């Protein structure tokens, strides 16, 4: 142990300048209460100062801050104490927080028509599965608010973002209830809210076999033309006099879109090849005109 000698008071007026006579090295020594007690030889005061500095925060205050959500490291830094010493008082409170977080996962989210039959943990796990996220990597915690209510929180990482959702937890019968405190918490309670939006012009088709919903795109901008459906042409009936007749021909469409009776012509009454009546072509029906086909 080297011996130092006092050189004088530092220019800040709060430190004593000491020097090593052999190496000519100088040191600063805080001129605090401990130094003054040591200079007086007050052993009792030195012991009291030691206790006060090692316990700048009382156990009850340490536990209150831990219960409010602070970590052991945060309390130790604020108190100027070692984390090991803080942990001695924080351990029972940390166990209480962990137990409360576990109970909150069994609680039922409050809905407009009453508590959900599913638990918070079940719904959140389902939400993670729908998004393809690893629920096992999420972390639950609980702490008391300034109003004395329990808050349960879930933290997880998605890509490069750190996420945190919070609910209020009210212990009670059948597991108690929880209510969302932020947007992320509300989103997790409504798994279907994050389904991919459908494109304009798509519809849902229910596949009866699988129960899944498939989005089928429709043709945007397509024009629907209403065309008359041709009546079935009955087989020619024998009149007994060596002649035959067919059913009435299709009506024609006039320029305004209405239907007008069509006068029988040689084309409409003529018989096709092999004795079958002539059937109008599809383009004739679509355009509302009749073509003169033999």
Last residue of a domain, one of 36, 54, 72: 54
| Residue 232 covered by a domain | no
| Residue 110 sits in the same domain as residue 189 | yes
| Residue 183 covered by a domain | yes
| Residue 139 covered by a domain | yes
Structure token digits, residue 1: 């142990």
| Residue 47 covered by a domain | yes
CB distance 71 to 63 below 8 Å: no
Residue range 217-225: average pLDDT? 41
Residue 203: beta bridge partners?
216
Whose structure tokens read 């750190």?
Answer: 162
| Residue 294 covered by a domain | no
CA 108 to chain centre: 18
- List C-alpha distances in Å: 137 to 96, 113, 131, 186: 22, 32, 14, 20
| Residue 114 sits in the same domain as residue 66 | no
Residue range 90-113: average pLDDT? 94
Residue range 228-240: average pLDDT? 48
CB distance 22 to 13 below 8 Å: no
Whose structure tokens read 């060596």?
Answer: 242
| Residue 113 sits in the same domain as residue 189 | yes
| Residue 177 covered by a domain | yes
| Residue 141 covered by a domain | yes
| Residue 82 sits in the same domain as residue 157 | no
**Model confidence at 239: pLDDT above 70:** no
Total domain count, the chain:
4
pLDDT digits (tens, 9 = 90+) for 130-151: 988 899 999 999 999 989 999 9
3-state DSSP assignment of residue 250: coil
Q: What pTM does this model have? A: 0.49
| Residue 47 sits in the same domain as residue 91 | no
3-state DSSP assignment of residue 253: strand
| Residue 84 sits in the same domain as residue 37 | no
Residue 8: beta bridge partners?
17
Q: 189-218 burial, b for 16+ CB within 10 Å, e for fewer? A: bebeeeeeeeeeeeeeeeeeeeeeeeeeee
Residue numbers of the domain that contains 81: 59-101
Structure token digits, residue 269: 């009454």
| Residue 12 covered by a domain | yes
Residue range 246-252: average pLDDT? 48
| Residue 182 sits in the same domain as residue 128 | yes
For the chain, how many residues are written? 294
| Residue 126 sits in the same domain as residue 90 | no
């Amino acid at each position: 142990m080297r011996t130092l000698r006092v050189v004088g008071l530092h220019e800040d007026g709060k430190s004593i300048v000491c020097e090593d006579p052999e190496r000519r090295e100088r040191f600063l020594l805080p001129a605090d209460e401990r130094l003054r007690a040591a200079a007086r030889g007050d052993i009792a005061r030195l012991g009291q100062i030691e206790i006060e500095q090692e316990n700048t925060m009382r156990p009850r205050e340490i536990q209150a801050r831990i219960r409010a959500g602070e970590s052991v490291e945060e309390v130790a830094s604020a108190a100027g104490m070692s984390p090991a010493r803080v942990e001695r008082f924080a351990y029972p409170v940390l166990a209480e927080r962990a137990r409360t977080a576990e109970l909150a996962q069994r609680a039922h989210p409050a809905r407009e028509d009453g508590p959900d039959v599913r638990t918070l943990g079940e719904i959140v796990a389902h939400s993670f599965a729908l998004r393809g996220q690893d629920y096992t990597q999420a972390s639950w915690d609980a702490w008391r608010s300034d109003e004395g209510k329990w808050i349960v929180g879930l933290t997880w990482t998605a890509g490069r973002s750190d996420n945190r959702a919070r609910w209020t937890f009210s212990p009670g019968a059948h597991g108690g209830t929880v209510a969302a405190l932020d947007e992320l918490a509300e989103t997790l309670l409504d798994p279907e809210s994050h389904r991919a939006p459908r494109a304009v012009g798509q519809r849902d088709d229910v596949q009866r076999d699988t129960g899944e919903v498939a989005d089928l795109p429709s043709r945007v901008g397509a024009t629907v033309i209403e065309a008359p459906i041709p009546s079935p042409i009955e087989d020619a009936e024998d009149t007994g006099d060596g002649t035959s007749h067919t059913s009435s021909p299709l009506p024609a469409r006039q320029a305004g879109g209405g239907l007008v009776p069509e006068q029988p012509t040689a084309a409409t009454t003529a018989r096709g090849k092999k004795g079958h009546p002539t059937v109008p072509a599809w383009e004739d029906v679509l355009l509302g005109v009749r073509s003169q086909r033999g």
